A and B are shown apart, each in its own frame.
Chain A
């Protein structure tokens, strides 16, 4: 019997998800024995034409990381969708947009102006900008993929079967996801693989120090305080998103005395991660006076970057829509 065929692809990603796969270490040799990798640009020399030649539906599973930001990403994920039985959104960016999704707070024009004309190092008197199609000196036409008006999570572009959370997913989470897929006992479509439906607090080594009911009188930014690494960071006033974030990461940031920033995303049934996080924080401020509440929460000057850091494109807010775009 032929081994299952697997593809890995990246869209607007950083390569961290590829590194996370390499971090399977010895287990990567098991993976190579169990499956045939038919496309993996970071590590193998197969080209797009090799994928095009495969029969439709012949790839068992495609793991796609990164959000869809360019027309090329859109074409590639549609191609892989056609060739694959299963498509897996691997990591925070393809699941909900990830950190590059914060670009949706700005219009293309604002960004373009800054990058090509205003950035302090740019010398561009002729006001050149990259073009979708340009005639080169040699007479050929060079094409660039289009930069889409906003970044989209994978499931707003193609049908997605499963999600693997994390920025990036840890090797343990990745391995659990692979085991589930290879077991033949597939969970319901749309499930999150590799991590349970339990908040990070359940995994957290500091959970014993977290009181039944958390109440805070002051919010502190990480650079303002030397945190006690043996005590719940939340009750020390740090914005730790553990209570509203899926566990499974091993509480790595907290073990380094830094608060959770939410990269494992929402628990099942939560529609808007950022909204959930904001409502949680509003509920633990230990004041009844409105001005005091405002003063306390006012310490968070960047709610988008704090609460929607990994999920803006998949949220109810989605980002900024400019008049030109409308």
Chain B
């Protein structure tokens, strides 16, 4: 037995390490994706003013701060039993869709794009955004950069800050839109729809038209038959901002549909000793280990899962693209992990179209964007679809609105078990007879990258360890030395 370690895994949000175990013949027998990351948000939320949670929890993830901001704000609506005025809901949902466009585009072009646009086995010096720009040309590169900049500037006008927004309050938003923001939104939404179409064309030209890539997407090495979970509206269409949580089975039939207030009946978390991330699973089916199929509670979230869960898309161009994907890949549900990239681009189209609808809704000009809460707070739950999947915030407070207990179920966590399966399966399929190089190792990384995981989100919680260690600090709190208890005993220095 020997091991090959990829450290750190790259082009994702957060930290990770892959340990590949080879037998004497050089065949991979197992691969572990370990997540060495933890911080402790659920615990240090306790004692905070509830209304500060929409600003504290975005620091779980600065890539998807809007998702945490919104889940938290919705949990506060529920906590104070206050319904925002219709215009406030529309502005929130518009803001949310702008965010989905730019966040998904970031993943497509900067994080995952290099694998397809530059090539999965290209030299690592080129396998990055600079390589992408070289490949697509500076003009196209600038178009991508400028679109992102416009979307994020608009988010700043609406939400205060783009990274860590501040405008969400129980019962609405802090301020109506300025006339300038309304006009900018209308203009930028048109450009966003065009940008989405343009991105879809790039994806089809580079990926789908390339038989080698299409074969890669549909190959068994990157396929798992699991349950899928996501939010749907009253017509079972995909919605990012609100709706019911729907779960479909590996066969594609509805397994469950529930309001987020019932999430504790449906979702539980499993703990493993070799990683800091916890593994949510479908509680009624149970944890059967790292395995797929109908008898295993392992589920998947994020773009492909959302499309598998939805009966259709709520906007016309997205619906066309949705039909095209399922037709090409042989019907629903699609179990090919790498199809997440396709689904993600379809979601960019949906988000841009929904953004345009809402930007042109006269309601967003309204000054009625806030209902002040009057109820005594006790408990609140909020849910949204983060770019990386279903995100649930659950708070309990005292009558003064001070957090007593918080539970956060974060998108990447829901995918954690399937990601572990994916990395293991890809490594076992690709690494044979000791043949191993940078290109093959990147092909293993591709398996997790398609989920767009965010380990900062996945490990918002924190924990300690069982080894006793001593930490020596100087008077200024500077860490001087760490001593293992074992070392102390062995050196006869104990006591």
Binding site for B on A (CB under 8 A): 10, 12-20, 22-23, 25-26, 28-29, 32, 41-49, 69-72, 74, 98-100, 102-103, 105-106, 108-112, 114-116, 119-124, 128-132, 134, 136-140, 142, 144-149, 151-152, 156-157, 167-168, 221-227, 229, 252-253, 255-258, 261, 301-302, 304-306, 309, 313, 318, 325
Contact = CB atoms under 8 A, between A and B. Distances in A.
Given A111-B40, A122-B268, A136-B21, A17 B62 contact: yes
Given A120-B264, A223-B76, A18 B62 contact: yes
Given A46-B10, A119-B269, A156-B479, A130 B463 contact: yes
Contacts of A102: 44, 48, 56
21 contacts: A14-B59, A15-B13, A16-B164, A25-B145, A42-B111, A44-B124, A47-B6, A48-B8, A103-B43, A115-B43, A115-B278, A121-B280, A129-B465, A130-B272, A144-B274, A167-B59, A168-B163, A252-B156, A252-B166, A256-B167, A305-B49
B119 interface: no
Given A111-B43, A129-B466, A301-B402, A45 B164 contact: no
Contacts of A28: 145
Instruction: Select the residue from A26, A49, A148, A252 with max chain B CB neighbours within 10 A.
Output: A252
B51 A221 contact: yes
A97 to B, nearest CB: 11
Nearest to B287: A123
Interface stretch (B26-34, B243-251, B303-311, B336-344): B26-34
B47 A302 contact: yes
B62 A15 contact: yes
B176 to A, nearest CB: 9
B110 A43 contact: yes
B166 A253 contact: yes
Given A108-B464, A121-B264, A157 B43 contact: no
Given A16-B164, A25-B145, A100 B454 contact: no
Interface in B376-426: 394, 400-402, 407, 409
B17 to A, nearest CB: 9
Contacts of B272: 128, 130
B276 to A, nearest CB: 5
Contacts of A313: 477
Contacts of A168: 62, 163-164
Contact of B39 (A12, A47, A306): A12
A146 B466 contact: no
B238 interface: no
B161 A103 contact: no
B402 A41 contact: no
A7 B373 CA distance: 47
Contacts of A221: 49, 51, 401
A105 B40 CA distance: 11
A147 B46 CA distance: 20
A66 B61 CA distance: 12
Given A45-B442, A128-B272, A302 B402 contact: yes
Given A128-B272, A224-B372, A26 B478 contact: no
B169 interface: yes
Contacts of A145: 36
Interface stretch (B127-135, B218-226, B317-325): B127-135
B271 A124 contact: yes
A28 B55 CA distance: 28
Nearest to A127: B271
Contact of B62 (A13, A49, A103): A13
A226 B82 CA distance: 15
Given A19-B62, A42-B13, A229-B175, A123 B269 contact: yes
B163 A129 contact: no
B166 A152 contact: no
Contact of A46 (B124, B283, B402, B482): B124
Query: Contact residue range for chain B?
Result: 35 or more
B271 A105 contact: no
Interface of B: 1, 3, 6-8, 10-15, 19, 21, 29-30, 32, 34, 36-44, 46-52, 55-56, 58-63, 65, 76, 80, 106, 110-111, 124, 127-130, 133, 138, 141-142, 145-146, 148-149, 152, 156, 159-164, 166-167, 169-171, 174-175, 264, 267-276, 278, 280, 283, 287, 370, 372-373, 394, 400-402, 407, 409, 442, 454, 456, 461-467, 469, 471, 476-479, 482
B10 A45 contact: yes
Interface core residue of A48, A120, A157, A306 (most chain B CB under 10 Å): A120
Interface centre among B1, B29, B174, B268 (most CB of A within 10 A): B174
A226 B371 CA distance: 9
A134 B34 CA distance: 12
Given A19-B63, A72-B36, A123-B268, 15 more contacts: A26-B146, A44-B128, A69-B462, A100-B39, A109-B464, A110-B43, A120-B394, A122-B268, A129-B273, A131-B273, A147-B462, A151-B39, A223-B76, A223-B170, A229-B175
Contacts of A255: 160
B36 to A, nearest CB: 5
A99 B56 CA distance: 7
B128 A43 contact: yes
A139 to B, nearest CB: 5
B233 to A, nearest CB: 25
A10 B274 CA distance: 22
* Residue among A25, A49, A115, A255 with most chain B CB within 10 A: A115
B127 A45 contact: yes
Closest 5 CB pairs of A and B: A16-B62, A256-B160, A108-B464, A14-B62, A45-B124
B39 A69 contact: yes
